[in-house]
Amino acid sequence: MDVRYQTRGAVAAVYVLFRTVVGAVLGLHCLKIVSAEVGLTHGIMSTEFEVELRGHNWVIDSGACLLGQPRNLVVDPVLDSEFMTPQKLLTDRTGPELCNWLEKIHRQHMEQKPAWLAAYQKFEKRFFLLRLLGMVGKPITFFPEFTVRIIVKHFSLWGDDRWGNAQPWIAATFEYAHPEGAGGELFLHIEKVFSMEFSGRVAKLVHILLNPSATFNQYVELHRRKRSGVPGDSGVSGIRRTLYERDLNISHFPTADTSQISHSLAPDILTLRFAKQDFWMEDGSCYILSRFVATSSIRGKTLCKIVSDYGHRESWMPFVGSRKKTVALAVTAADFFNTRRPSLVAHIKEGVKLEALDKTPVVLELVTDPVILRSYVEAARKA
């Protein structure tokens, strides 16, 4: 049985983190109990929304199923872990089954291409004159892209707990998106949902770590600031190696543009709220807490600059377990699988005194590198 571990951090980090909390980092939510275990749904977002997986965009590595460009990791969480021990995350059960199902239906999808092209050519010959006269609509002229609908049931962003850097995760079901329109009947025989039931009708709820760091199964040492990740020696292999190489090559992939994240969410389905102090800069990049980096700007200014210059004034009393979260970002689109990192498109909904923003959207990338957590702790200390 293959078992990966998601730790809640090291005892060595607790002293550093709690000193920070008392002084300036209530944004880490360390003075209240926050469940960070994968699979526990109490207190997390359970608003249902959809994202897509397009093309052959998965891989099996060391017996585990990794999905999309961010290499999101399919796991089966074990919920009986003791408080100060790593949570068991099984990667050899649902993951391989899901990847095998994706391979099967992708193969069946692509097998229809000759029949689809033949049907299209037959249509062209039969209705050529009528189509020229505009009396018959033109059929789809490209072979439909393989697409899987992923219906997110539970969404946990705030995995940071007082013991470390737990990973954000989703619980979702998978459905093959049958092409619509002319020629769509060629694909109707392909299995609709991913299921591990004998009947094949009940969709399996799949747990997925979003953009897991290469150190997702290691302690987070907040006092070690300069370096993170996995050493580049030949002794490192398997999932950790794959994730580490992904992080090394992240700069080679372009950031997503707002127009590329086309899967829209229903209005007001997802709103993220932050305190003004949650926005901070490092090396020219704008971060929100230890979880997001804003990769686009508003009128040539970073989101952090906009919030700093025009955000409503906030009051915060030390040693009180909350700050007023005056900045609201309305999420309008999401893509967790087809961009270099899981990404959200959002615009400022509340908390900024700037007229005529025209709801300019910004792209927020999900980050999980423990170095960002350490940097955030240091930035909050200095605030």
Task: State yes or no: pLDDT of 71 exceeds 70.
Answer: yes
DSSP H or E stretch at residue 305:
helix 303-310
Task: State yes or no: pLDDT of 147 exceeds 70.
Answer: yes
Task: State yes or no: pLDDT of 27 exceeds 50.
Answer: no
Q: Identify the weakest region by mean pLDDT among 283-287, 312-316, 366-370.
A: 312-316
The type of residue at 6 is Q
Strands (DSSP E) along the chain, which ranges? Answer: 3-6, 49-54, 58-61, 64-67, 72-77, 87-90, 147-156, 160-161, 164-165, 169-176, 206-209, 271-274, 279-282, 285-288, 292-294, 327-335, 343-350, 362-366
Per-residue model confidence as pLDDT tens digits over 30-70 = 323 334 578 888 767 778 899 999 999 999 998 999 999 99
**Regarding predicted confidence, which is higher, 375 or 82?**
375
Largest CA distance in the chain: 79
Task: Look at the pTM and tell me if it is higher than 0.85.
Answer: no
Please, which pLDDT band fits residue 235 given cuts at 50, 70 and 90?
A: very low
Task: State yes or no: pLDDT of 122 exceeds 80.
Answer: no
What's the pLDDT at 127? 59
Q: What are phi and psi of 86, to 5 degrees?
A: -60, 145
Q: Is 12 helix (H, G, I), strand (E, B) or coil?
A: helix
Per-residue model confidence as pLDDT tens digits over 323-370 = 678 899 999 999 999 999 999 999 998 888 766 566 789 999 999 888
Residue whose entry in the numeric block shows the structure tokens 């200095």: 382
**Regarding predicted confidence, which is higher, 316 or 372?**
372
Mean pLDDT, the chain, rounded, equals 78
Q: Which two tokens stand for residue 88?
A: 């068991």
Q: What percent of the chain has a predicted confidence (pLDDT) above 90?
A: 38
Q: Which two tokens stand for residue 257?
A: 């543009």
DSSP type of residue 120: H
- Using only C-alpha atoms, what is the Rg of the chain? 23
Q: Identify the weakest region by mean pLDDT among 11-15, 127-131, 240-244, 277-281.
A: 11-15
What's the pLDDT at 300? 86
The answer to whether 41 touches 154, Cβ cutoff 8 Å, is yes
What's the pLDDT at 16? 32
- Burial class from Cβ neighbours inside 10 Å (0-12, 13-18, 19+) for residue 347 reads middle
End-to-end CA distance of the chain: 46
DSSP codes joined into one string, 50-108: EEEEESS-EEEETTEEEETTTTEEEEEE-----TTSPEEEE-SSHHHHHHHHHHHHHHH
CA triple 29-33-36, angle to 5 deg? 80
Nearest to 334 by CA among 132, 33, 92, 68: 68
Please, which pLDDT band fits residue 134 given cuts at 50, 70 and 90?
A: low
What's the pLDDT at 150? 98
Task: State yes or no: pLDDT of 8 exceeds 50.
Answer: no
What's the pLDDT at 35? 43
DSSP type of residue 248: H
Cα distances from 113 to residues 110, 118, 145, 189, 363, in angstroms, run 6, 9, 11, 14, 35
Question: How much is the average pLDDT of 110-136?
Answer: 72
What's the pLDDT at 165? 57
Nearest to 283 by CA among 345, 157, 371: 371
Per-residue model confidence as pLDDT tens digits over 152-207 = 999 988 754 444 556 799 999 999 999 987 788 999 999 999 999 988 889 999 99
What's the pLDDT at 10? 34
